[in-house]
């Protein structure tokens, strides 16, 4: 199957515009339309619905799209193995990541990345709701969890340490907890899971049960939780990468710095096991890992960033 026609189909499916897809590949609109029609004839299926107003993916086109992307990825990897185009990684890279992490640590790096790799287009899907990596046809994703899915591979970005913190204004009004027992009765800004969490220090263990606190706000977005905590809404559990800059600026204070939350997670850059690492994916992974992001959220023993 002609990979150039597949590349045209993928571009048209992503843009939902045949003329724009053709122009991106140096083709006149009429030629692009004719080539897509030829592909549909070969497959015996209508991949794109066309009207005078818009283009949309058909059900068959949506089913075929991930396979087309996979064929192109395999083609790129084969060329890379032979040393072809090694100095010019190109194409569309579909990357999924938590929006709160991306806002703080990925977005500021984009100008530098695009300056290094001008032929790569980043298609970012940013949400604190987890995407299905394979069904969504993503090339790469950032996740904070044990790598248990056997269909995935990954490279470690850094430890995802969680801490208790609150705003100085809240602590001035309600007092600073000196022991885990002092947490009882405090206001809690909770993540979607309100399951009990264990605090550990020098062999001692204390179970923090949100039911013993005033949990009046449950949030499914990390950035919103951090903002609410800075505003004095209560005590919350946050990833250090999310609040390190607020700790440095004094907008937040770590609570019980000598106690650690059990069940530490790890940040992974993951990709489907079935995928080969194409040049565009490899260079993006190397760029993110080379940025040494974990250095930005290290904590000292006294709980200061």
Residue 83's region, left for phi above 0, alpha for psi from -120 to 50, else beta, is left
For the chain, give every residue range classified as CATH 3.40.190.10: 87-159+265-300
Architecture of domain 1-69: Orthogonal Bundle (1.10)
pTM of the model: 0.69
Cα–Cα dist 119/300, whole Å: 40
Q: What is the 3-state secondary structure (H, E, C) of 149-182?
A: CCCEEEEEEEEECEEEEECHHHHHHHCCCCCHHH
**Is it the case that residue 240 has pLDDT exceeding 80?**
yes
Q: Please tell me the predicted confidence (pLDDT) of residue 85.
A: 58
Query: Which CATH class, in words, describes the domain spanning 162-263?
Result: alpha beta
**Residues with Cβ within 8 Å of residue 167, at least 6 apart in sequence:** 229, 230, 231, 232, 233, 251, 252, 253
User: pLDDT grade, residue 148 (50/70/90)?
Assistant: low
Which of 8-22, 62-76, 135-149 shows the lowest per-residue confidence on average (mean pLDDT)?
Answer: 135-149
Contact 217, 228 (CB under 8 A): yes
Domain 87-159+265-300 sits in which CATH superfamily?
Periplasmic binding protein-like II (3.40.190.10)
Write out pLDDT tens, residues 13-29. 989 999 999 998 889 99
All CATH 1.10.10.10 domain ranges in the chain, comma separated: 1-69
160-176 mean pLDDT: 94
Please name the residue that has the structure tokens 């990390």: 222
pLDDT at 280: 87
Question: How many Å apart are CA 234 and CA 236, to the nearest integer?
Answer: 7
Question: Where would I find the H helices in the chain?
Answer: 3-15, 18-24, 29-43, 59-81, 99-101, 110-116, 168-174, 222-230, 240-249, 279-290
Tell me the three state secondary structure of residue 127: coil
Structure tokens at 11: 């571009």
For the chain, give every residue range classified as CATH 3.40.190.290.
Answer: 162-263
As a whole number, mean pLDDT of residues 200-218 equals: 85
Query: What phi and psi values does residue 255 have, to the nearest 5 degrees?
Result: -95, 135
Lowest mean pLDDT among 87-91, 190-194, 264-268: 190-194
């Amino acid at each position: 199957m002609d990979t150039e026609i597949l590349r045209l189909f993928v571009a048209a499916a992503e843009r939902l515009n045949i003329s724009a897809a053709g122009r991106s590949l140096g083709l006149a609109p009429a030629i692009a339309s004719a080539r897509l029609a030829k592909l549909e004839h070969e497959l015996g299926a209508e991949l794109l619905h066309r009207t005078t107003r818009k283009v949309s993916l058909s059900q068959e086109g949506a089913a075929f799209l991930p396979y087309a992307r996979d064929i192109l990825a395999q083609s790129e990897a084969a060329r890379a193995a032979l040393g072809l185009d090694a100095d010019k990684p190109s194409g569309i890279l579909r990357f999924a990541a938590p929006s709160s992490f991306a806002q703080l640590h990925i977005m500021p790096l984009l100008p530098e990345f695009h300056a290094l790799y001008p032929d790569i287009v980043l298609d970012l899907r940013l949400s604190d709701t987890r995407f299905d990596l394979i069904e969504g046809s993503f090339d790469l994703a950032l996740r904070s969890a044990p790598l248990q899915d056997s269909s995935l591979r990954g490279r470690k970005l850094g430890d995802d340490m969680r801490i208790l913190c609150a705003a100085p204004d809240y602590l001035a009004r309600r007092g600073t907890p000196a022991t885990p027992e002092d947490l009882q009765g405090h206001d809690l800004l909770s993540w979607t899971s309100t399951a009990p969490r264990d605090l550990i220090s020098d062999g001692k263990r204390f179970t923090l049960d949100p039911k013993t606190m005033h949990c009046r706000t449950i949030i499914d977005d990390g950035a919103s939780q951090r903002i609410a905590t800075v505003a004095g809404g209560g005590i919350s559990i946050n990833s250090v990468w999310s609040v390190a800059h607020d700790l440095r600026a004094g907008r937040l204070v770590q609570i019980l710095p000598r106690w650690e939350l059990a069940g530490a997670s790890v940040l992974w850059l993951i990709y489907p096991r079935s995928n080969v690492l194409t040049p565009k994916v490899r260079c993006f992974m190397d760029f993110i890992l080379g940025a040494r992001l974990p250095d930005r959220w290290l904590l000292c023993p006294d709980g200061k960033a």
